[in-house]
Amino acid sequence: MGNNFVIIAGEEAGPKSNKMGGIWNVINAEAHTLASLFESGALKEEEKPQILIAGPYYGHWGADWNRGLNRITDMGGLNSLSVDGKLLKSLEALENAGMNVFTGEKQVGNTKLAYLQFQTDNFGIIRTVHKKQEMTLENKVKAEAFEFIGLDSMKYESMGNGAEYTHYLNLSYAISEFVRTLVIPTPQTGMEGVKGDGAKGEGVKRGECEKIIKKGVDAWKAVSMEHALPCPRVSLHCHEFGTFYAPARLKKLGIPVSTIATLHATLPGRAAGHNSIQKIRNNDSIWSSGVPGNLAALEVLAAYADTVTAVGESTRQEAKLFYGIDGIVVRNGIRIETDKIDWDRKERCLANLQNFLSEKLYRHYDGERINPEKFIPIFTISRIEIENKGYPDLLDSLLALEHIIKNSILEGHMEEGMKVICFLVTAEGPKTNLPEDFPVHISKEILVGNELKIQQMIEERELDCSGLVRGKRSVAAILYPQIISADDGGLCMGVEDFMAGCCAGIFPSRYDPFLLTGLEAGREATPSVVSRVCGFSDAVKTNESLVEGLGGVIVVDNIDLSYYEAVLDYALAASYFIRNFVDDRVKYKLLCREAFLLAKDMGWEKPTEHYYELISGVRICGEI
């Protein structure tokens, strides 16, 4: 291997774990797209960079800081890492320091993607020395973070999410230590004994963030650089706050590395939810209640990176408002490796969903079997954030859709007996104790936290499936509190097949920096309804009224319209896709194609080119 490295890091970097979330998709797409660009010859450099993907390693149940998620890192699909030169020496240095790094590689053409997964749950038992005192590696990390930046781990780890904070700090340390040994392969940095300016890290609210951002400038300048002989180029791109201490630590150590910190949201923005838009309009930088101060202390460290990017304009404005950080927008994208829609596959996936619903409803309710072709499946899929993801709006829109469907049947515009079922795919974590006929039958015993709340919201609106069987309802909602996969104990479909089989997606988010799932639906040629608040909607022309011919993505204005107007528009938009699905398959296929082409137009090539130019100073073939 050579001496030119691009490292893409994040809490979800590496092999996909059993968790829903978009960060893994983003990092995976960026790495693969960068490799493809290198393969295409678009990059004109003497030495092609090595692409390294850095993230955490969860080797067994209980290794995850979040016991509810219980993620497991599966390295089985990777080949053994072929390593030599500086990379080999760096990994050996970490091993000698007691840190475990699990490695693997994947081939993209002639380009290798190297995966480095850092184990952090054992930092509390690894012995080391800091300022001539023996202690655990975890305590050294905390002490050093306080000296460098003023991160008060004694305070932060005592909070309810203290384990999460500590994990992120350890992960960032491991990544930065790997980078340090890659750039300067010496046992120590001369940092032992270097102190900051004594700030205690007491809070990080607006106006106090500068204490963290500017902490230890004198200490940074005091670092001896006599051994700082850098590689030709080492670059680090960190996604989300879980790894932002890495570029901050490297800056304090004076390590010559080019860094990017990408914000996919802000914690104060998430806490404010739909009110964040009003806060931006009013220049109101006061944080809403519920912002985790320890994680915000990590998020503000984005300011130490050479470049800060945000996935959408609203997130960029939030970073400026709440943290005083200036950034630029580099949108997310989607990887689509085909130019054609597989219509036969979509029909097979649709039939699987329809047969599943017909069979499960018949078995569980022991009534008359409903013809599978009568079912029209639609869906939403998200993290389990009830307000931010707009679940009240969605369920209320299904009530409005019930009236629209019934009127369409009465007026002869739709065949009698049609049943619209909306899958609500969201979960606190993976489950293994699912009841028979899941998810048509859900026992309350398997539900936790917000899952219980959503199920209660469904039942309060009488949107559960029992109304379909009794003939009282034409629209129902089914909670799917499980990570969709081929062996999930329910549909047993991959998430791509699930999306491909549904008639439409509906994403009524009140707060969503981008909405990657909207693009993912488009990749499967499934049209969707999205809220204006989503960053994704910036790429879709907003129409003032709902009329036929809108295209494969309909944007509902949930910013300036009243709640009930927005709810009605979600229902009208969904009914538009449903009506064409039932009555005019030719037109429906055109809508599917438009959704696909929109997603195709928002590929990962341009964002990846932009990231690479920012981090390396090298332009990839032409304008960005």
Token duo for residue 396: 């209320």
Q: Where are the alpha helices (DSSP H) in 152-266?
A: 153-156, 162-183, 209-213, 217-222, 245-253
pLDDT confidence bin for 46, thresholds 50/70/90: low
To the nearest 10°, report the CA torsion of 530, 383, 9, 16. -110
β-pairing, 133-136 with 127-130?
A: antiparallel
What is the model's pLDDT at position 14?
84
Residue 285 burial (CB < 10 Å; 0-12/13-18/19+)? middle
Whole-angstrom Cα distance, residue 593 to residue 591?
Answer: 5
To the nearest 10°, report the CA torsion of 22, 28, 33, 36. -160
pLDDT confidence bin for 3, thresholds 50/70/90: confident
215 vs 12, more confident? 12
Token duo for residue 559: 């910013």
What is the model's pLDDT at position 84?
83
Percent of the chain with pLDDT over 70: 87
Token duo for residue 600: 């195709």
* Secondary structure of 412-463 in HEC code, one letter for each residue: CCCCCCCEEEEEEECCCCCCCCCCCCCCCCCCHHHCCCHHHHHHHHHHHCCC
What is the crossing angle of helices 137-149 and 245-253, to 10°? 70
Whole-angstrom Cα distance, residue 18 to residue 24?
Answer: 11
Lowest-pLDDT range of 397-401, 475-479, 548-552: 548-552
Whole-angstrom Cα distance, residue 170 to residue 520?
Answer: 32
DSSP characters over 91-129: HHHHHHTT--EEEEEEEETTEEEEEEEE--TTTTT-EEE
Could you tell me the pTM of the whole model? Answer: 0.83
- For tokens 């700082």, name the residue: 228
Token duo for residue 280: 């931006």
β-pairing, 50-56 with 528-531?
A: unpaired
What is the model's pLDDT at position 45?
61
Decide if pLDDT at 230 tops 80.
no
What is the model's pLDDT at position 185?
66
Decide if pLDDT at 612 tops 60.
yes
Q: Where are the alpha helices (DSSP H) in 285-390?
A: 293-299, 313-318, 343-365
DSSP characters over 520-532: HHHHTT--EEEET
What integer best gives the mean pLDDT of the chain? 87
129 vs 195, more confident? 129
* Residues forming beta bridges with residue 102, ordered by sequence position: 117
Average confidence (pLDDT) over 506-523: 91
Whole-angstrom Cα distance, residue 95 to residue 426?
Answer: 39
Token duo for residue 368: 């008359």
pLDDT confidence bin for 360, thresholds 50/70/90: very high
What is the model's pLDDT at position 226?
39
Decide if pLDDT at 189 tops 90.
no
What is the model's pLDDT at position 624?
38
Average confidence (pLDDT) over 474-503: 94
- For tokens 């050294």, name the residue: 140
Give 413's contacts (C-beta < 8 A, 6+ positions apart): 579, 583
Residue pair 524/500 in contact by the 8 Å Cβ criterion: yes
Lowest-pLDDT range of 2-16, 213-227, 285-299: 213-227
Average confidence (pLDDT) over 451-466: 95
Query: Which of 156-165, 334-343, 466-475 has the highest average model confidence (pLDDT)?
Result: 156-165
Percent of the chain with pLDDT over 90: 65
Query: Which of 83-97, 299-313, 456-470 has the highest average model confidence (pLDDT)?
Result: 299-313
Q: What is the DSSP letter of 373?
A: G
What is the model's pLDDT at position 1?
54
Q: Where is 54: in which H helix or E strand?
A: strand 50-56
What is the model's pLDDT at position 545?
37
Which of 300, 275, 288 is CA-nearest to residue 203? 300
- CA 326: distance to chain centroid? 22
Lowest-pLDDT range of 236-245, 457-466, 537-546: 537-546
Whole-angstrom Cα distance, residue 368 to residue 121?
Answer: 53
Average confidence (pLDDT) over 94-118: 94
pLDDT confidence bin for 205, thresholds 50/70/90: low
pLDDT confidence bin for 621, thresholds 50/70/90: low
How many degrees, rounded to 5, is the angle at CA 429 between CA 426 and CA 435?
A: 80
Lowest-pLDDT range of 122-131, 155-164, 228-237: 228-237
Average confidence (pLDDT) over 272-285: 91
> Which amino acid is residue 447, in one-letter code?
L
